[in-house]
Amino acid sequence: MGNGVREGPVEFRRDVEPVTARIPAEDNQEKKKVLNSLMSGALAGAVAKTAVAPLDRTKIMFQGSSRAGLSPQEAYRLIYHTYLNEGFWSLWRGNSATMVRVIPYAAIQFCAHEEYKQILGNYYGFQGKALTPFPRFIAGSLAGTTAAMVTYPLDMVRARMAVTPKEMYSSIVHVFIRISREEGLKTLYRGFTPTILGVIPYAGLSFFTYETLKKVHADHSGKAQPSPPERLLFGACAGLIGQSASYPLDVVRRRMQTAGVLGHTYSSILLTMQEIVREEGLIRGLYKGLSMNWVKGPIAVGISFTTFDLTQILLRKLQHGPGLER
């Protein structure tokens, strides 16, 4: 009887100890995964946006004005004129504000996308497998929406710095102070609704297209992973489709964001669209600068997706050895 009493606790400890030891290991793996996604996303956003910053500023300047449509010749003239009058580094004016926004935005978006893919995969029973088309689109849309909601005021600041002379705003903090003092805090969220409405198709289609092309490539080539040039091409296609689908709402967003400094008053999405169409026409107004986006967008999105994937692979190899790839 005495032996029986002693054996009970011993057997109980033997059963429980492996379970309690396994939980911290799983938690650590999940934390590492989230941290890797955040770091990879931040780097992807920073590299992509810096590469296309001069073209991005040019596009914003045209979107915020009522000038004629942006052609490659007009874009070149504007970039050259800016360079002559304000200097070479002025082409990256507002890029510091872009970095302040895009680093957390891209980090949150890519990390959220990985988490939403896992959640939807568990819900639909696709653990460890590629999602089907509809959940693939939903994961991208939710990721973009999450990132946009958190970082929107920084996007407003970036737009203001891009369309104003450097004498007007001396720094990112100065933009926040002047907008809050002169126009009210709610101005920091002007254009928020068209942003969200635009992000849903843009992020959804971008992630959907990129993930779909990678899956089709794997199915037909027999290779588990595409090469870096193939990733760039897939990302470029994703950017082209996503940005073309959501472009009119991007124009509306920019108009509402920059209205206070350009002498316009836009009170709602529909009224802004109506005024743009009435004054400038449907195509020239709501699709102003789209040709620039067809140059800038695919480059930026291709660089972004490729940088994220390759950074993820590198971080996983550093942590687990050379056997793991995304």
What are 121-155's pLDDT values in tens digits? Answer: 988 887 767 789 999 999 999 999 999 999 888 88
Phi, psi of 288 (to 5 degrees): -65, 130
Residue 12: its pLDDT value, please?
A: 44
| Spatial contact of 105 and 153, defined as CB atoms under 8 Å apart | no
Calculate the CA 273 to chain-centre distance.
24
Q: Low-confidence residues of the chain, pLDDT below 50? A: 1-2, 4, 6-8, 10-22
Cα–Cα distance for residue pair 288/280, rounded to 1 Å: 9
Amino acid at 195: T
Residue 17: its pLDDT value, please?
A: 47
Return left, alpha or beta for 169; rule: phi > 0 is left, psi -120 to 50 is alpha, else beta.
beta
Residue 113: its pLDDT value, please?
A: 96
List the one residue out of 54, 58, 50 whose CA is nearest residue 78.
58
Residue 13: its pLDDT value, please?
A: 46
| Spatial contact of 227 and 290, defined as CB atoms under 8 Å apart | no
| Spatial contact of 130 and 197, defined as CB atoms under 8 Å apart | no
Residue 207: its pLDDT value, please?
A: 96
Output the CA angle 76-81-86, nearest 5 degrees. Answer: 130
Residue 282: its pLDDT value, please?
A: 85
Cα–Cα distance for residue pair 277/47, rounded to 1 Å: 35
Residue 161: its pLDDT value, please?
A: 77
pTM of the model: 0.74
pLDDT, tens digit, 9 for 90 and up, residues 162-202? 777 777 877 788 888 888 888 888 888 888 888 898 899 99
Cα–Cα distance for residue pair 82/38, rounded to 1 Å: 35
User: Domains in the chain, start-ordered, CATH in brackets?
Assistant: 93-188 (no CATH), 190-305 (1.50.40.10)
The tokens describing 202, both together, are 């843009």
Cα–Cα distance for residue pair 242/174, rounded to 1 Å: 33
- Give counts: helices (H), strands (E), the chain: 11, 0
| Spatial contact of 112 and 151, defined as CB atoms under 8 Å apart | no
Cα–Cα distance for residue pair 39/276, rounded to 1 Å: 40
Cα–Cα distance for residue pair 267/259, rounded to 1 Å: 10
Residue 167: its pLDDT value, please?
A: 72
Residue 271: its pLDDT value, please?
A: 85
The distance between the two most distant Cα atoms of the chain, rounded to a whole number of Å, is 96
Residue 279: its pLDDT value, please?
A: 86
Please list, in sequence order, all residues whose beta carbon lies within 8 angstroms of the beta carbon of residue 215, skipping any fewer than 6 positions away: 130
Residue 264: its pLDDT value, please?
A: 67
Give me the helix-helix angle, 228-262 and 269-280, nearest 10°. Answer: 90
Residue 75: its pLDDT value, please?
A: 66
Render 208-229 in DSSP notation, one character per residue: HHHHHHHHHHHHHH--SS--HH
